[in-house]
Amino acid sequence: MKRTAPRAAVLLVLLAGLVVGGGSVAHEGATGVVAERMHGMKSMAEDMKALAEMLDGKRPFSADDAKARVASLHHTCHQAQDLFSNGKNDHASRALPAIWEHPDAFAAAMAGFDRAVEALMTATQTASLESLRAPFLDVGRQCSSCHEDFRRPQ
């Protein structure tokens, strides 16, 4: 049984959740669009964590919950691109200036994430846990890739 990849994904998502959300300390002082972005990223990390736990057998699989989590990812993905469009940043944000210095590269990264989430949405239509594995891992790769280029390390 393929359990190594989902466990690695869970670890990745848990670490991402700590790094993205980091509790109230990471969000301390964030206001306006920066706070909205941070909230969106934390929401996506929570959805990814829940999906990873289903894939790893640490949470019962629910096709309805999986569909709702992926729909939430899709919605937040589209919001995120708009929330980065104004160039605002503050001390609480880990967004790198590269987002605004290289808008085409950032847009391409967001488009790759969107395509991966779309594939995951399609996979949820089968209501099969196994059908979610590969698209879920691709979404995780897209997240990590964007974070490498456009997010300041903690």
Say if residue 75 carries a ligand binding annotation. no
Nearest to 133, CA basis, from 61, 33, 45, 43 = 61
Rounded to two decimals, the pTM is 0.78
146 in a known ligand binding site: yes
Q: How many domains does the chain have?
A: 1
Please state, rounded to an integer, the average pLDDT across all residues of the chain.
82
Residue 51 domain boundaries: 4-150
Residue 137 pLDDT greater than 80, yes or no: yes
Q: 77 labelled as ligand-binding?
A: no
Distance, CA of 134 to CA of 154 (rounded, Å): 28
Residue 95 belongs to a domain with what CATH number?
1.20.120.10
Question: What confidence tens digit (pLDDT) does each residue in 78-96 have?
Answer: 888 788 877 767 667 888 9
pLDDT tens digits for range 11-48: 444 444 433 444 444 456 777 888 888 899 999 999 99
Cβ atoms 75, 45 nearer than 8 A: no
